Structures are given as C-alpha cells and as structure tokens.
C-alpha cells in the first residue's frame, strides 16, 4: 500500500520507523508540524518526525494548516495514498483530507477508547487509576477520537507508572498494532467497532497550571498526579521560606502515601492540608505533607532556582518555619 504518515510527536517514531523499514509498504510522504523556535536562544528546530523522514529519504510536507489549503490538498491527491496513518499530529483533519486515501484514514490513539479521548490520554489513564492502557487503531471521523475502532493493543500499568514511562511503552506498542491492522485494512476485512458513547471520557490539553497541587485532595490522588505529570507539566507547590520569600517547590516521583499513627492523629489534629508535619529531629530527614486524606512523604524536590535534590538534603539546607504550610498557587 501507498501510505502517507502524519505526525509530530516522539510517540509515533517507532511506528513510522516500522512502516518505512519493515512493513513492506511504501511511505510516500510524511506530513508534520513546521519548524519551531526552541530553547532560550529560540533556535528553529524541526520535529523529530521530520528528522527521521529526512534520514530515510521520505518527502516531507510542513503545512501550517490543512484547512482551506488547496495546494496541500492537491499535493495529497497527487501522492495517491491508499492509507493515511496519523499519530500525535497535533491538529484535526478536515473531511477533504480524510476522504483522500482509497482505503482509509486511520489514527493511533494512546488509550483504550472510548476512554480518554483528547489530547492527554496517557496522563489521564494514570490520574484515573486505570489498571490498563494501550493503543487503539481507529478510523478518523470529524468528531475528535470518535471513529470506529479497528484494533486495540492493551498493556498493564505498573504501580509506579509515570507519564514518561507510559509514553515510551505505548510508543513501542504502535508497530504491533499496525502489524495486525494493516493486513486487515488491505484485504477489506478490518473490523469497524462503534464506540460506546456512554463509556466515553475526555481529557484536554495540559498546561503548567495542571501541575499545581491542591493539598485538600486525598493523598492517593495527589500521588497519581505527581506520577502522571512527570515529566510534563510537572507538579509543584508554593513554599514560604524562613526569609519570608515565597518560591515554587517542584516535586518528583516517587512519593509515598501514608496514614498518621495513633499518637500522630492527636499531635497533628486540626492541621490544615498542606501542613509540613514536624517530628522533632526526624523532620530533618523526612518531608511529610498533610493532605485531605492521609499524608504524602516526598523524596526528591527542586526549589525554584536550585538543583534537584533528595528531600533530606533540602531540609538540611533550607529550614522550614514551624507551622509551614504548602500553598496551592505557583
């Protein structure tokens, strides 16, 4: 089959490599996002997808938009693809593009649909406490991630799964899903399972504000948040230092959920969520924070303007005022 790939994110690289190097099909072009300025010096940088395609000698197109773009539509039609494969492209496809291939226009979505449609399905699965995630190969429809499903490849989530580890694991699932789905599509025998709208959940695009910790939530929910948002957008809290300054404290996984002992329930009764629990000399070695239900023990943190370090080292170098309470604004 003649295949056009549309993608920009790293999660699609194993699938694109497999299509070019091993699938036996012809990748006739790659569509990806335009080069963007990156870093403090704002150096114009291509997507990883463009870099891979260039290395393999595959033609690359980088339109700012696919909508109302007759030239790009002409380019697509001239390529005469049998199949368009999309993964982490970053924009919705207009119907005119969906209709170009002779067989299908499909998407690899990083969840077990209909759960977690939208832009952040990887993080959403961890936040929800799901036991499984996976890749769904689906027909693209005009409604976001709502097309008929062709194939699902599921994996179990580890107890310490983070957004970063799940991203990398799902990236490796993509080629397996395609290896099953493509022959079915080529022969016209692929299933078209309609999604159950009653089971649908949606997740929006993440921003830094999503990483702000609300300590009134249960410890188990905050623990999932810290894992889900590592490495992006990260999680943090506001901390008031002994010099009166407020700074952001970034928190890294793992963290440990705990319940107060019998004596501690009395000692810390009435403390508001976000309170740093003091335990005499032990407080210099352990950083525990009260939540809406239980506490969290933090092991690695990074104070704004400083390096990442163990919590014990942070406490030795930065005394916290008695009664310190972490805020929820960063």
Q: Which residue has the higher pLDDT, 317 or 172?
A: 172
Placement of tokens 């950083």 in the chain: 287
Q: What would the DSSP string read from start to end of 48-71?
A: HHHHHHHHHT--EE--S-STT-HH
Q: Domain check: are 14 and 97 in the same one?
A: yes
pLDDT digits (tens, 9 = 90+) for 265-291: 888 888 999 999 865 454 456 899 999
Degrees (nearest 5) of the Cα angle 143, 164, 229?
75
- If DSSP codes are grouped into helix, strand and coil, which group holds residue 249? strand
Q: What is the CATH number of the domain that holds 291?
A: 3.10.25.10
With 90 as the cut, is the pLDDT of residue 148 above it?
yes
Question: Distance between CA atoms of 275 and 83, rounded to whole angstroms?
Answer: 56
Total domains in the fold of the chain: 2
Domain hosting residue 78, numbered range: 2-203
Residue 330 lies in a domain: no
Q: What are phi and psi of 152, to 5 degrees?
A: -125, 135
Packed helices 13-21 and 163-187: angle between N→C axes, nearest 10 degrees:
40
Last residue of a domain, one of 176, 203, 230: 203
pLDDT digits (tens, 9 = 90+) for 198-250: 999 999 999 999 999 999 999 999 999 999 999 999 999 999 887 778 899 99
Q: Domain check: are 199 and 241 in the same one?
A: no
Q: What is the pTM of this model?
A: 0.94
Last residue of a domain, one of 152, 174, 203: 203
With 80 as the cut, is the pLDDT of residue 311 above it?
yes
Residue 180 lies in a domain: yes
Residue 324 lies in a domain: no
- If DSSP codes are grouped into helix, strand and coil, which group holds residue 38? strand
Q: Which is nearest to 135 in space by CA: 40, 12, 306, 51?
A: 12
Residue 302 lies in a domain: yes
Q: Domain check: are 57 and 182 in the same one?
A: yes
Q: What is the CATH number of the domain that holds 16?
A: 3.40.50.170
Last residue of a domain, one of 151, 183, 203: 203
Q: Domain check: are 139 and 95 in the same one?
A: yes
């Amino acid at each position: 089959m003649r295949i056009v790939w549309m993608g920009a994110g790293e999660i699609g690289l194993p699938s694109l490599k497999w299509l070019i190097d091993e699938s036996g099909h012809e990748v006739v072009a790659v569509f990806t996002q335009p080069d963007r300025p990156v870093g403090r010096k704002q150096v114009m940088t291509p997507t990883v997808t463009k870099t891979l395609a260039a290395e393999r000698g595959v033609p690359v197109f980088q339109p700012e938009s696919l909508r109302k773009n007759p030239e790009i539509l002409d380019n697509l039609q001239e390529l005469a693809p049998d199949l368009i494969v999309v993964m982490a492209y970053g924009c919705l496809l207009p119907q005119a593009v969906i209709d170009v291939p002779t067989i299908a226009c499909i998407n690899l979505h990083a969840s077990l649909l209909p759960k977690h449609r939208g832009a952040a399905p990887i993080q959403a699965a961890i936040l929800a406490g799901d036991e499984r995630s996976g890749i769904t190969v689906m027909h693209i429809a005009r409604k976001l991630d709502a097309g008929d499903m062709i194939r699902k490849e599921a994996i179990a989530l580890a107890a310490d799964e983070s957004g970063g580890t799940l991203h990398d694991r799902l990236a490796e699932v993509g080629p397996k899903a395609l290896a099953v789905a493509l022959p079915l599509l080529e022969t016209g025998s692929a299933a078209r399972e309609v999604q159950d709208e009653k089971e649908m959940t949606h997740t929006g695009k993440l921003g830094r504000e999503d990483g702000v910790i609300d300590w009134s939530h249960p410890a188990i929910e905050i623990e999932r948040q810290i894992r889900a948002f590592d490495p992006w957008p990260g999680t943090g809290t506001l901390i008031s230092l002994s010099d009166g300054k407020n700074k952001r404290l970034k928190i890294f996984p793992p963290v440990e959920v705990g319940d107060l002992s019998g004596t501690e329930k009395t000692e810390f009764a009435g403390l508001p969520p976000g309170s740093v629990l003091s335990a005499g000399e032990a407080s210099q070695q352990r950083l525990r924070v009260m939540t809406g239900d239980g506490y969290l023990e933090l092991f690695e943190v990074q104070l704004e303007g400083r390096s990442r370090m163990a919590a014990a080292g942070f406490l030795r170098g930065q005394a916290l005022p008695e009664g310190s309470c972490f805020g929820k604004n960063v």
